[in-house]
Structure 1
Amino acid sequence: MRPVRLLVAEGNPPKMRERHAAVSGRTPSQFYADVLAMLAEDLGVAAEIDICFPADQGANLPGGDLAGYDGVAITGSGLNLWKAEPESLAQVEFARAVYASGLPFFGSCWGLQVAAAAAGGEVKLNPQGREIGIARSIRITDAGRGHPLHADRTEVFDAPAIHSDEVAVLPPNATVTATNELCAVQAAEIRHGKGVFWGVQFHPEYTFAELGGILTRYTPVMLKEGFFREPEEAARYVSDLVALDDEPGRKDVAWRLGIAPSVLDPKVRRTELTNWLRSQVLRTASARGRA
């Protein structure tokens, strides 16, 4: 069985991903690639994964070379599409190229927003504010029931998340498959050109340690926005996340943070990524004689 070939697009420009790596040890794209490789192995296939940087000035993007891949995924990002910065607009153009290639396409958080914008949707600052830490009570919509993106999910679930923006205007041929009270589009399928995109506003790829590293960087913002009253309170929250990553069986920590057993299970947490690999990527690779 041949390895599948995947391309991970880093959502952050250089300085942002360097700041992330300084705290978390890896850039978002490196972390994403490692998770995809592990999930592919769980499905019985090896994965060869490349990383590209569409936000970088002068980046040599794959373009027509996308045909050599079996799937493309976009990571999260600290950028905001409504600011229309060159680093953001370049990623929208990249997403259009992925749609045109017809390859299986996935995105977490920023990835969903970029894919929506590339297909004609609009992303805005969420008037309800930031969703950070754990997104609560995400509910599968009527259209999402039976959709392979959410196979094996319970109808209501929680998930790691961090975002202040949302898909405010859906593009044509988009189907919302999950929602919650704070963000109307928690997951969606978007059909555009030759392509089909599956994406989520939350972060199925995150570990609690990764989330803790991000919240460490976001502590000044969270203090300003009222999530914590004192830096020490934020530090305790992050410490609990890291402890839970080391010992998922810490019932006391899970209770204190209000984290459900299903969120503690990495296989359940990464349901949508696994389903994309199984239903979209492996099917494409098999049709092309790769798997």
Structure 2
Amino acid sequence: MSPPRLLVIEGNTAEARARQVSFGGEAASEGYARLLRELFPDAVTDICYPADAGANLPDSGGLEGYDGIAITGSSLNIYNRDPAISQQIDLLRTAFATGTPVFGSCWGLQLITVAAGGVVRKNPRGREVGFGRRIRVTQDGAGHPMFDGKPSVFEAMTVHLDEVETLPEGARLLASNDHSVVQAAEVPVGKTMAWGVQYHPEYPFREMAAIFRRLSPSLVAEGFFQDEDEQAAYIADLEKLEREPANHALVWRNGVDGAVISKDLRTREIRNWVYNQVIPTRTRRGRG
């Protein structure tokens, strides 16, 4: 029997990936693929780069050969619709016709939304960064398998300027907070069921620290920090949380809860997708 196969769609251009690495982070797809291998050790995990010029992208037959497709975050703005974006939309629309389960984080949710006919806009409240606060599971989200084992109110690592304004027809809103109404959604489209979240359950603290370094001038200018020294102290806290997640003083000072500190709870949405979407679909297709 063939091993399970997963595909990670990288949302960033090569230039953006290199910039993140230069600040001590990693390409979003590399981190996502590593987490999926931890959650699904038997799986073969591939990465594709549709934002790159000349990328060799799978067709519908190739996409149907995967048991699940995960989409990373991205520094792109989907309403700009340049080739790096339109290629991703086209790829996902092809995937929708295959019945292969899809999960998207941040940009991934936005890409799912637009490819399925919804609308994404620049958030009038500005950037949400660091920790998305008091994300609340909706009535439709309560009891939904994406949030099995997750608190009904939680914090999550996040960074985004854009948000979903209008969900596609037939979608269900699963979680919200005061910054963005759409923090999680289920989107049935074509033969495919897609799940998406506006935050980043896949990120470790060290990746968020690298993002803060990369965004440094902007975050001070936007008023998140008074000066670069204050931001440096915050980044140091994030890096220390990576090493010492049980440090009570750090947890208290940053106002975060167990849903962020515990890796099991932080990544629960992706784990639930694997066990409630990927594995059952693989079984129905006679592969498991």
With the length of structure 2 as denominator, give the TM-score of the two structures: 0.97
Count of aligned residue pairs for this structure pair? 287
Q: 8 Å contact 2:25–2:207 — kept in the other structure?
A: no
* Runs of 5+ unmatched residues, structure 2: none
SS in 2 for 1:93: helix
Please name the residue that 1:90 is paired with. Answer: 87
Corresponding residue for residue 204 of structure 2? 207
Equivalent in 49, 55, 60 of residue 56 of structure 2: 60
Which residue of 1 is the match for residue 12 of structure 2?
A: 12
Partner deviation per Cα, 1:137-174 (whole Å, 9 max, x = no partner): 00011111111111111111110000010011111111
Rounded Cα–Cα distance in structure 2 between residues aligned with 1:114 and 1:129:
20
State the AA in 2 paired with 1:55: A
Q: Which residue of 1 aligns with 2:238?
A: 241
**Residue 190 of structure 1: SS of its match in structure 2?**
strand
| Offset, 1:263 | 1.3
Aligned position for 1:69: 66
Amino acid at match of 1:15: E
CA distance in 2, matches of 1:97, 1:261: 38
Partner residue, 1:125: 122
Query: Match of 1:101, SS?
Result: coil
State which drifts further: 258-267 or 117-126: 258-267
Answer whether contact 2:258 2:265 (CA < 8 A) is retained: no
Q: What value does the CA root-mean-square deviation take over the aligned residues?
A: 1.1
Say yes or no: does 1:268 pair with 2:251: no
Shift of 1:59: 1.1
Give the equivalent residue in structure 1 for 2:213: 216
Matched, 1:31 2:31: yes
Take 1:34 and 1:89, find their aligned partners in 2: how far apart are those partners?
A: 27
TM-score between the two structures when normalised by the length of structure 1: 0.96
Counterparts of 1:30 and 1:261, CA distance in 2: 25
1:48 aligns with 2:38: no
Give the C-alpha shift of residue 63 in structure 1.
1.1
Identity of aligned residues (%): 46
Amino acid corresponding to residue 234 of structure 2 in structure 1: Y
Distance 1:67 1:193 in 2: 13
Alpha-carbon separation, structure 2, partners of 1:271 and 1:100:
27
Give the gaps of 5 or more residues in structure 1.
none
Name the SS for the 2:7 alignment partner: strand
How many angstroms does 1:2 deviate by?
4.9
Query: Structure 2 CA distance, aligned partners of 1:189 and 1:25?
Result: 30
Rounded Cα–Cα distance in structure 1 between residues aligned with 2:215 and 2:59: 34
Q: Which SS does the other structure have where 1:275 is aligned?
A: helix
Measured after TM superposition, the shift of residue 57 of structure 1 is 1.3
Q: Counterpart of 1:97 in 2: which secondary structure?
A: helix
Residue 192 of structure 2 is aligned to residue 180 of structure 1: no
Tell me the secondary structure at the aligned position of residue 51 of structure 1: strand
The residue type equivalent to 1:10 in the other structure is E
CA distance in 1, matches of 2:21, 2:38: 20
Residue 25 of structure 1 and its aligned partner are, at CA, apart by 4.5
Partners of 2:106 and 2:200 within 8 A in 1? yes
Letter of the 1:22 counterpart: S
Q: Is the Cα contact below 8 Å between 2:140 and 2:173 reproduced in 1?
A: yes
Aligned partner letter, 2:32: Y
